[in-house]
Structure 1
Amino acid sequence: MTSQISTKNLYESDYVAWLDATLIQLKNHDVQYLDWKNLTEEIEALGREQRHKVESHLLRLLIHLLIYQYWHSEKSWSGNGWEKEIDNFRLELDLLLESKVLANYLTMILEKDYQKARKSAIRKSKLSPDTFPLHCPYTIEQILDPDWLP
């Protein structure tokens, strides 16, 4: 049985070993000696990381949808690459959005991320800000639809 003191030391000296020991403790319902402080922090970090991934993939997807739709002078040169990136971001989001919590999170951050994507598309393309809609012109269904392109 792992003591609380040695588990805390293990967290600081060998993270993977700490994970293994913590998993064994959880499987054995050995909650008395769990390193609660670090376990709580790790679970919180996992949630933040998953939300960050959703936001990152959504942001990059929106940027590519915008430049694909509005940057006409570059589309003949870069359109195929943009399509591949759009597909990749959709695949990544599809995996993450199996979680209803993360799917709801995407809905909550869509407009905020669109504003960031719009600014990025303006900077990247050097097109007039008037080129891009002020609010997200895409539905969530369109954004995630693997067969849809603007």
Structure 2
Amino acid sequence: METKTQNLKEIYEQDFYLWVMENLRLLKNKEYDLVDWENLLEEIEDMARRELRSLINLMAVIMEHLYKWEHFRETKCMGSKWKKSIISARTDIVKLFKDAPSLKAKAQEKEILQRAWEDAVLNLTAWFKWNEKLALRYFGTFPKKEDFPKECPYSFEQIMEYEPWLEG
């Protein structure tokens, strides 16, 4: 299917798959002047953001469950799902690093750790809304983000290796 640049912009809004395939064809044929560069560059940038967002989400889950284990675990049986979630998220991170090794260095940046921690805090405050008795016991009310450490309490190494269930 032959397409002009102006038509590609319309196709982008109507049929994403067709838009991708047509731009791919144009690139393979080295018809660079016909490529929808504006949308293509935006999509490439979005792909990178999605990979990073996935990493941050996984790290947030780990931090949330580590924090729950350390501060809100009341019985020996409490936390088995947290442990499973931590192990699963770590496995997913290892797989992500296999596909995108440069993300490993990014994951260790203070800013990324902090973003993941802020997401973990949001998850923690939401969790307490479902666990009113625990919220009342530990905070006297439903906690707010200010009730948790402002700075990320975990290093990248702890996110990937710390196993509090093995301690005493």
What is the identity, as a one-letter code, of the residue corresponding to 1:139?
S
Between the aligned residues of both structures, percent identity stands at: 29
What is the identity, as a one-letter code, of the residue corresponding to 2:27?
L
Alpha-carbon distance in structure 1 between the residues aligned to 2:104 and 2:18:
33
Deviation, 1:133, is 6.7
Q: What's the counterpart of residue 140 of structure 1?
A: 156
Q: Which ranges in structure 2 are unaligned for 5 or more consecutive residues?
A: 129-133
Alpha-carbon distance in structure 1 between the residues aligned to 2:151 and 2:6:
53
What is the identity, as a one-letter code, of the residue corresponding to 1:113?
A
| Aligned positions of 1:12-23 closer than 5 A | 12-23=13-24
Q: Tell me the C-alpha RMSD between the 2 structures.
A: 2.7
Q: What's the counterpart of residue 84 of structure 1?
A: 84
In 2 relative to 1, CA 133–75 (structure 1 residues): closer, same or farther, beyond 3 Å? farther
What is the identity, as a one-letter code, of the residue corresponding to 1:106?
A
Deviation per residue, 1:85-135 (Å, 9 max, x gap)? 112211222222332432222212114433553565466353359xx7775
Q: What's the counterpart of residue 46 of structure 2?
A: 45
Alpha-carbon distance in structure 2 between the residues aligned to 1:31 and 1:101:
28
Q: Which ranges in structure 1 are unaligned for 5 or more consecutive residues?
A: none
- Give the TM-score of the pair, scaled to structure 2: 0.71
Runs of 4 or more, structure 1, over 4 Å off, are 132-137
What is the identity, as a one-letter code, of the residue corresponding to 1:47?
A
Alpha-carbon distance in structure 2 between the residues aligned to 1:14 and 1:74:
53
| Cα pair 2:63 2:154 within 8 Å, conserved | no
Deviation, 1:52, is 1.3
Alpha-carbon distance in structure 2 between the residues aligned to 1:5 and 1:120:
44
Q: What's the counterpart of residue 93 of structure 2?
A: 93
| Aligned positions of 1:28-39 closer than 5 A | 28-39=29-40
**Larger relative contact order, structure 1 or 2 (CA cutoff 8 Å, min sep 6):** 1
- Counting matched residue pairs gives 146
Q: What's the counterpart of residue 113 of structure 1?
A: 116
Deviation, 1:25, is 1.8
